[in-house]
Structure formats: structure tokens, C-alpha cells
Amino acid sequence: MAETMWSEEAPAPKKRRIPTWAWFCGAGCLVALILAIVASVFAVDFFKKSMDPEMQWKRLEAVLPFDERPAGWTPAFGMDMSVFGFEMVTLAGPQREMALLMQLPEQDAEKTREQMFDENFSGSFMGMGGRSEMQKGEIEVQGRTLRVMRFYQGPKSKGGGEGQTGASITVDLTPPGRVRPLILQLIRTGSREPFTDAEIVEFLRPFHVGTER
């Protein structure tokens, strides 16, 4: 009896992960949520690394290689939360745009991708960061056909704060054969002017998205 008990393997501890619903609240809400987690868990050194521009360029290149840094864009914030299977880099654009590149966990990967490109999913969390005016489509970038979702990013209620509101688009950059979703979101802060296909193609021009470069 005792010998049997000692020979049994203990079950492996479950990996910590951010709940799937967190990815669907939109960039403004998601960033605020993550910042709250980081503020309560990580030390000052983490914030220094998260604000270091050179470190953010390296982090960006690790998940989406590039030949040159996109002109006019500067790193704003980034984080490597490998313990949750999550990496993120944000870039600030020349005309109040914001780019948010997220590599999401393998857990619930397909569900995450499908819901992020679901026209019927608003993505709101507690009235913040909701999506409206959703319109899905496709664009051709470097020989690949990529799913996109255009929408307005903003609070659901009129009384909600501004945050990162504006015309927005998400682009599914997940490479063929990769399980973990790689999602780009662009926000034109304070504007309802939608992003054009040409703007997306130009933004992604320095990056290794497809084979026709």
C-alpha cells in the first residue's frame, strides 16, 4: 500500500494563464487590464524594461521579423509575459495612430482567433473598449491573404471615457503552421476615418509577413 502511494506521480501543476475573455475587450481595455495586472504583480525593473525602446524593438523583431524599423513609429510600451504565454509591443505613430502587436497563448488559440474576427462579437468588458460598426474582410499582403476586421474602438456608453478610441482594424498575421495567434491592431486615435488596405500594406512593408517581398 505504502509502496504504491510513493510510486504514483503527482499531477503536473496547471500553467497560469490569462483568461480567454481578456483578449476580446479591445486594445484600450486590454492594455488597461494588463497594466493593472503588471502594477500589482511585477517589480520596478519590469517597467524599466517595458519602457526601454531598444528592448521593445528586439521584442517586436522576435515575434515579427523586419528588415528596417517602420518610419515614423516609435515603441511606447511592451511586455514579455511568457509565464502566461503572452507577448505584446505597442508603437506610437506619426499621426496619433497606435499599433498593438500581440502574440497570444496557445490555450484556446483557435477560439481566440475566431472570436476576434467575429462581426457579432462586440468585445466590450464592463462597458469599456467595446467594438462597433464591425466589418470583416481580407487584404493581400506579400502574397498572403490576411483576415481583417474594421471597427470603431470605444466605450459602449456615452458616459465612458475616451481611452484609446477611434477607427480601428485588426489583422490576423498568424504564420501558417503556427498555433499561437499573432494579431495586429491599429487604432486611429480620435478619428472615425477607417484604415485603407494601402495603409496596412505600407505599415507591414518592412515586416516579414509573406514570401513575396
The H or E element spanning position 36 is helix 26-41
Least confident interval from 45-49, 65-69, 101-105: 45-49
Identify the residue with better confidence: 79 or 119. Answer: 119
Q: Is the pTM of this model over 0.85?
A: no
Identify the residue with better confidence: 150 or 79. Answer: 150
Q: What is the mean pLDDT of residues 86-98?
A: 86
The secondary structure of the chain in percent helix, strand, coil, rounded to multiples of 5, reads 30, 30, 40
C-alpha cell at 166: 477611434
- Average pLDDT value over all residues in the chain: 75
| pLDDT of 40 above 50 | no
Identify the residue with better confidence: 106 or 151. Answer: 151
User: What is the rounded distance in angstroms from the CA atom of residue 172 to the CA atom of residue 19?
Assistant: 20
| pLDDT of 85 above 50 | yes
User: What is the rounded distance in angstroms from the CA atom of residue 140 to the CA atom of residue 129?
Assistant: 28
